Amino acid sequence: MKVFCFMLTLLALASAVPAQEVQEQLRLAQRHNWFVRLVTDTAVIAQGRVQLQSGDSFLVGQQPVALTEVQVIERRSNVGGGWKPGALLDGAVGATLGLGLSQLCGYECDGEAVKIAVVMAIPAAAIGGVLGYFINPPSHEWTRVWP
C-alpha cells in the first residue's frame, strides 16, 4: 500500500513539473509580449499573444488554454528584411550628397560640411529603410521555446 501511495505521489509530482514550466514560459511570453503558438501532439491549439491567466489556464489570442494540454511552445520571430541595408545605403548616399553640396557654398563654410551631411543623411536613411522594408519584407520564423 505504501509503495502504491508513493508511486501515485511521484506521478502527481511528475505531471505538475511540466505544467509549472509551461506556466513560467507563458508568464515570460506575457511579460515580453511575444506572439506564441501552443501545440499538442496532434495540432495547434492556440496562437496569439498571452493575455490573461486564471488558475491553471491562460488566454492566448482569444482562446483559453489549459496548462496540461500544452506539449510545445513556439515563438514567432522576424528574420531578414531589407530595411537595414536600405537605410545604410541611402544614409551613406545622403551624407555624400550633403558633403558635395557643402562645397558649393558661396561663403566661408568652416564646420558646416558635417552639419549638412548629417541633415541630408538622416532623412535619406529613413526613406531608404522604408523602401528596403517594402521591397524585401522580413519573413516569420517559429522558434521552439519549450521544451
- Judged on CB neighbours under 10 Å (0-12, 13-18, 19+), 120 is buried
Beta strands in the chain (DSSP E): 35-39, 44-54, 57-60, 63-66, 72-79, 139-146
User: Are the C-beta atoms of 144 and 74 separated by less than 8 Å?
Assistant: yes
Q: Where are the domains of the chain?
A: 2-76, 83-142
**CATH topology assigned to domain 2-76:** SH3 type barrels. (2.30.30)
At 121 the pLDDT is: 94
Among 58-62, 79-83, 90-94, 116-120, which range has the highest average pLDDT? 90-94
> Cα 94 from chain centroid?
30
* Mean pLDDT of all residues belonging to the chain: 82
Examine the pLDDT at 82 and tell me if it is beyond 60.
yes
At 89 the pLDDT is: 95
Residue with cell 555624400: 96
Q: How far apart are the first and last CA of the chain?
A: 34
**Cell numbers of 31, please?**
511579460
- Whole-model pTM over 0.85: no
